[in-house]
Amino acid sequence: MNIPAAHFTGKSVPSTFEIRPIRPEDNEQTARLIRTVMTEFGCVGEGYSILDPEVDDMFGTYDHDRAAFFVITRPGDDTILGCGGIGPLSGGDELTCELKKMYFYPELRGHGLGREMVTRCLDAARQIGYRRCYLETVARMEQANRLYQKMGFKKIDAPMGYTGHSSCEAWYLKEMIE
């Protein structure tokens, strides 16, 4: 899927940031970001996505027509500061995608970039043809949980699909029918 980069300047963010599709050369930094943030929130060990094999090859994992993965950088600086994407929900139906691996370093949090990333991912999901978006997280990521609810995700009582993330205890679903 060919998706151009978008620029975003948040109200309280002093710099301009770019949300762009992941590139092969972003894999190492993206893996470090995911592992750093997951460790920050105590999401280590069995049942967490920190152990997913895809973490070391996010580009390769999401480089197909049913997925999209984005990174946040400052234009002219290839340092990865945030990431997130969508892909098919493992064990789900063909109309349901999963919002996956959305992580930001602390400096990006609270400035509207999460909203921008979710919007970008949902737009890509709609373009691909998905009708629903599922996500799973942990309750201690309070800021993320509030964001998902503000973005129209509804809490559900049990996990969907077969993600292998048995340590997650917060599950959400968003209907994207227009």
Chain segment 105-140, per-residue pLDDT in tens = 999 988 899 999 999 999 999 999 999 999 999 999
Q: Which of 46, 45, 35, 33 is nearest to 83 (CA)?
A: 33
| Phi, psi at 21, each rounded to 5° | -60, 145
Quote the number of domains for the chain. Answer: 1
Distance CA 91, CA 133 (A): 14
112 is a domain residue: yes
1 is a domain residue: no
Question: What pLDDT does 75 receive?
Answer: 82
pTM: 0.90
- For residue 33, what are the domain limits? 6-175
| Phi, psi at 36, each rounded to 5° | -65, -50
Place 63 in a pLDDT band, splitting at 50, 70 and 90: very high
3-state class (DSSP) for residue 155: strand
pLDDT at 45 > cutoff 70: yes
Could you tell me the CATH number of the domain that includes residue 126?
A: 3.40.630.30
Question: What pLDDT does 110 receive?
Answer: 86
118 is a domain residue: yes
The residue to which tokens 């109200």 are assigned: 11
156 is a domain residue: yes
Mean pLDDT throughout 96-112? 94
141 is a domain residue: yes
Per residue in 140-170, pLDDT tens? 999 999 999 999 999 999 999 999 888 999 9
